Structure 1
Amino acid sequence: MGTPSPPDVMGQYAETAKERRQEEKLKNLDDWLPITSSRTPKWYYSAFHNVTAMVGAGVLGLPFAMSQLGWGLGTVVIVMSFVITLYSPWQMVEMHEMVPGKRFDRYHELGQHAFGQRLGLWIIVPQQLIVEVGTDIVYMVTGGQCLRKFHDLVCQGHGCKDIRLTFWIMIFGSVHFPLSQFPNFNSISAVSAAAAVMSLTYSMIAFFASAVKGAHAAGAADYGLRASTATGRAFGVLNALGAVAFAYAGHNVVLEIQATIPSTPETPSKRPMWRGVVVAYAIVALCYFCVAFGGYYAFGSSVEPNVLISLERPRWLIAAANLMVVVHVVGSYQVYAMPVFDMIETLLVKKHKFAPGVRLRLIARSAYVAATMFIGMTFPFFDGLLGFGFAPTTYYVVYDILRKPKKYGLSWTINIICIVIGVVLTLISPIGGLRQIILDAKSFKLYS
């Protein structure tokens, strides 16, 4: 046989050195990207990140969804959605480190493990981007609307000049240009924690103010369906289903949040992560059920798409609640934007060979903020956007492929039901959302 010739030895050495350089390059990139650059948070970081992601603009639209579904169907849909959404992050948390020695830090990495490198990206990334980018656009609109409502309440009776919603969205969006430069999840922890506290506070304000309003006007609210025609009711149901699905969209960033938690063989990340998820979802249940049922109880079918707009008294309290919403959606926007930043920067560095650094981060993230702000200014239809394309995108297929639960067993059956519900919602809810946007557009002036 003989020993390898010197050229063969040199070739093997060169190949090994090239592989090592590639591994080192990828490690350096992971140390720079926003999802994987910091892994020091405790379990309570995951709790307030999840609260910030879950209790967003969607909670304020739940009474409006109830007005399109009625007490019976509305209650069933909201409770079922909560149960399904709690089941989804449990599966994802369990799969984060299902391969020994490897962490699936991003949802699309889990999809690639299940479907293959190329197909996994095409199946997961478009769905995840629809939710995350769409949510950030809705938050631009929500932030602008609540700033305007705060201004109108504070200036009531003082002759203040009316300011267009477009400018309020621009003011809200301008906050995100500097905030988007925070490098990773850990660096926005203070913003996220403040947002979580604000979400719980304004939800309780909305609930108690609605309860007082309902008690004083007992029997005055009309609980019939919002639309008067069969066609209107049908489209209303579709839009409401999408709005409820949007409200529970926070599980789309679960893996990315878990990626920030340290992990060892003795203490895998799923333990502190699940602890944080349980605490977060207990708060979510309190906020969502109270606001949905309290708001609908108070206003019935006449409730506004944002329940805080329906509330007028006490004026100072409602003004404060609107300002709290602004603080909260500032944090929520960043939580949903962080995985998008990660995708954009990975693409620019790996495929287009941009050098990672401050300049790339400044340009890429500023462009994203500007784009979501522009779309929000152009289409500021809160109620229509809630139902337009933001149905659940975690279809449990990945779990079935990787965990292989027993066919027709309990886990397999629940997953199939959830898959069907998710696909149906994705197909039908944009129909109602699009119709609502068309109706709103009839009385809308561009950039007014």
Structure 2
Amino acid sequence: IAWTASAAQGKAAEAEVDYSLRATTTPGKVFGFLGALGEVAFTYTGHNVVLEIQATIPSTSGKLSKKPMWKGVIVAYVVIAACYLPVALVGYWAFGNGVDENILITLNRPRWLIAAANMMVVVHVVGSYQVYAMPVFDMIETVLVRKYWFTPGFRLRLIARTVYVALTMFVAITFPFFSELLSFFGGFAYAPTSYFLPCIMWLIIYKPRRFSLSWLTNWICIVIGVLLMVLSPIGGLRQMILKIKTYKFYQDYSGLSHN
């Protein structure tokens, strides 16, 4: 819906689109680029649920779970690319630097179509939130049971999970720096565990021959991952600081400085 509607609207207003960068200063352009890298890194993560999902797949010596899991991962990333890349490319072509962080905000018509798209987003988030939060739920409940002697059961799950969801919702509403937080956590938290720590562990365990294809590939991923971890949070944090200067709690923060 997002990219087809963008294409339809962009064709009508193509002459009025500005494709220049939002930032007007050199630091703004550099840090904006670094922040964008963090957002891309965040988009292609999923390490925290991979093992949880694979644990539900039957595995025997004759039929290892890693084979269907590998196929599933490939399909998942293909679907992600098919969903995100057209929106990014067509959205920028249609609206240029005037596109919002949430392209559905930029697409203000037809209203019924945008409403339908937002409903689909709600359904998607409700489902994906459960999957991504499941390891956190498990950790919280384990700590409460083992350390604080709570009785395991439905009541504990209901209270603990409800409190966690309410807390994350409160933080999201209070600090709605979605793009900047993606940049920061994409580099600081997800780049290590998704991009270079698995490569380091693979090199330690399998010890491939030096300068072989697998050795070089893993080291390239390690170098890129370390650079992402160091540089992306800087860009995201800088953009967040700029917006905090003029941000007022529980008010619209769109259109704040990108310099």
CA contact (8 A) 1:258 1:269 kept: yes
The alignment status of 1:435 with 2:238, answered yes or no, reads yes
In the alignment, what sits opposite 1:285? 81
Q: Secondary structure at the match of 2:247?
A: coil
Q: Secondary structure at the match of 1:322?
A: helix
Deviation of 1:281 after TM superposition, in Å, equals 2.3
The alignment status of 1:304 with 2:95, answered yes or no, reads no
CA change 1:315–1:362 in 2 (3 A) is closer
TM-score of the two chains, using structure 1 as the length reference = 0.51
Match of 2:22 among 226, 232, 243: 226
TM-score of the two chains, using structure 2 as the length reference = 0.86
CA contact (8 A) 2:40 2:186 kept: no
In the alignment, what sits opposite 1:323? 119
Cα deviation per residue 1:240-278 (whole Å; 9 max; x = unaligned)?
111111111224321111111111222211222223223
CA change 1:322–1:443 in 2 (3 A) is farther
The alignment status of 1:358 with 2:161, answered yes or no, reads no
CA contact (8 A) 1:239 1:384 kept: yes
**Which whole-Å CA distance do the structure 1 matches of 2:60 and 2:67 have between them?**
11
Amino acid at match of 2:64: P
**Which whole-Å CA distance do the structure 2 matches of 1:310 and 1:342 have between them?**
38
Question: After the TM superposition, which residues 43-442 of structure 1 pair with which residues of structure 2 at under 5 Å, given as runs?
Answer: 205-391=1-187, 392=191, 393-394=193-194, 395=196, 396-442=199-245
Deviation of 1:351 after TM superposition, in Å, equals 4.4
**Which whole-Å CA distance do the structure 2 matches of 1:253 and 1:412 have between them?**
26
Amino acid at match of 1:266: G
Q: What number of residue pairs does the alignment pair up?
A: 244
In the alignment, what sits opposite 2:255? none
- In structure 2, stretches of 5+ residues that fail to align are 252-259
Q: Secondary structure at the match of 1:268?
A: coil
Q: Secondary structure at the match of 1:225?
A: coil
Which of structures 1 and 2 has the bigger CA Rg? Answer: 1
Amino acid at match of 1:302: G
C-alpha root-mean-square deviation of aligned residues, in Å? 1.9
**Which whole-Å CA distance do the structure 2 matches of 1:353 and 1:381 have between them?**
37
CA contact (8 A) 1:383 1:436 kept: no
Identity of aligned residues (%): 63
CA change 1:343–1:403 in 2 (3 A) is farther
